[in-house]
Structures are given as C-alpha cells and as structure tokens.
C-alpha cells in the first residue's frame, strides 16, 4: 500500500535540498530519519573508495536480490554510465553464480554483498578474500552500502514507492 507523501511545504529541511524523488518524498513521513537516510545515500554515491562501477554493481545486485523495481530502475542509468555491460546485467538479473564476467575485485565484493543479503553475515573466508584483493576500507564500504540499499529496497517495496520513470527494465545495458 502506498502512503500519501507529505505536502512539499511540510517536508523536513533535508528534503527541501534534494530532488523530489519519490523515495525521498516517502522518507518525509519519518522526518527524524529523513536527513540521515538521505545523507547516508549521498555519501554512498560519491565519497567512497569503491569505484563507481563497483558501487553500481553492488547496488543493482542488491536491488535484484531484494526484488526492488524502484532501486533497479533508478540505478540502470548509473550502471550504463559506468560501463556495466549487457552480459553483466544479465548475469546479475539471473542471479548466476560468481565469479562470472567480472574483474576479480568486482566478483569478490559481489560475493560479500550476496552473503550479507542471504545470511545477514559473511564467512571469515569471504571477508579475507575480499580484504586481500580490495583492502579493509573497500570491504567495510561494501557491507555498509549493501546494508543501506537493502534497507532502501525493503522500504520501497513495503510502501510500493513508484519508480521515478528513468527506465522500465534492467536490460539491456549498452555494451
């Protein structure tokens, strides 16, 4: 069920400073959380050691596993812009086993994200592999990014937040 969005004049201050995306508008029903959720999302979109490509692979994989049309559709253009190929998008959409058509660093970070989503934890072996290939900061950022987008996906799914009209399907990406 969709909840009504607050009227723009009733938005908490953080919502007055960001684009009027439906997700952000839905956050407006929880003004105490809105600013923190938006800030955390914006950090994940621009201030990480993860590459833009790694970030978008992780977000799209999380959205696919979580069944979130909202997040998937919102991030398709970003994935295309950072060079995610049709083959890679198909691999994610079909939830194929890793390593797949990814660089070793991408595959190991995707493995961390998938384990976290499937088991609410990661094995020491998975964390160690990722640490050895990518470092502690990249592993930590992956866990936080995937956790944040899992929250966003669940929120968008539960409230049936309408996609903002950027795209209608995950495929095709441009190769």
pTM: 0.89
Supply the pLDDT for residue 112: 98
Percent of the chain with pLDDT over 90: 58
Residue 7: predicted pLDDT = 83
Q: Residue 165: pLDDT band by 50, 70, 90 thresholds? A: low
The yes-or-no verdict on residue 171 having pLDDT over 60 is: no
Buried b / exposed e over 87-113, threshold 16 CB at 10 Å, is ebbbbbeeeeeeeeebeebbbbbbbbb
CATH assignment of 52-158, among 3.30.390.10, 1.20.1290.10, 3.30.70.60, 3.30.930.10: 1.20.1290.10
pLDDT at res. 155: 96
Domain spans in the chain, listed from the N-terminal domain onward? 8-44, 52-158
Predicted confidence (pLDDT) per residue in 102-112, tens digit: 999 999 999 99
């Amino acid at each position: 069920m969709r909840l009504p969005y607050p009227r723009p004049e009733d938005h908490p201050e953080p919502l007055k400073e960001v684009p009027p995306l439906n997700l952000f508008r839905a956050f407006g029903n929880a003004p105490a959380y809105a600013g923190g959720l938006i800030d955390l999302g914006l950090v994940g979109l621009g201030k990480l050691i993860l590459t833009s490509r790694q970030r978008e692979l992780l977000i799209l994989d999380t959205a696919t596993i979580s069944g979130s049309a909202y997040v998937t559709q919102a991030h398709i253009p970003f994935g295309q812009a950072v060079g995610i190929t049709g083959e890679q998008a198909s691999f994610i959409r079909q939830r194929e086993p890793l390593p797949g058509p990814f660089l070793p660093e991408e595959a190991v970070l995707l493995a961390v994200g998938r384990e976290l989503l499937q088991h609410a934890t990661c094995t020491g072996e998975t964390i160690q592999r990722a640490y050895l290939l990518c470092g502690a900061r990249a592993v930590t950022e992956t866990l936080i990014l995937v956790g944040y987008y899992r929250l966003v996906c669940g929120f968008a799914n539960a409230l049936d937040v309408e996609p903002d009209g950027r795209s209608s399907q995950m495929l095709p990406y441009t190769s």
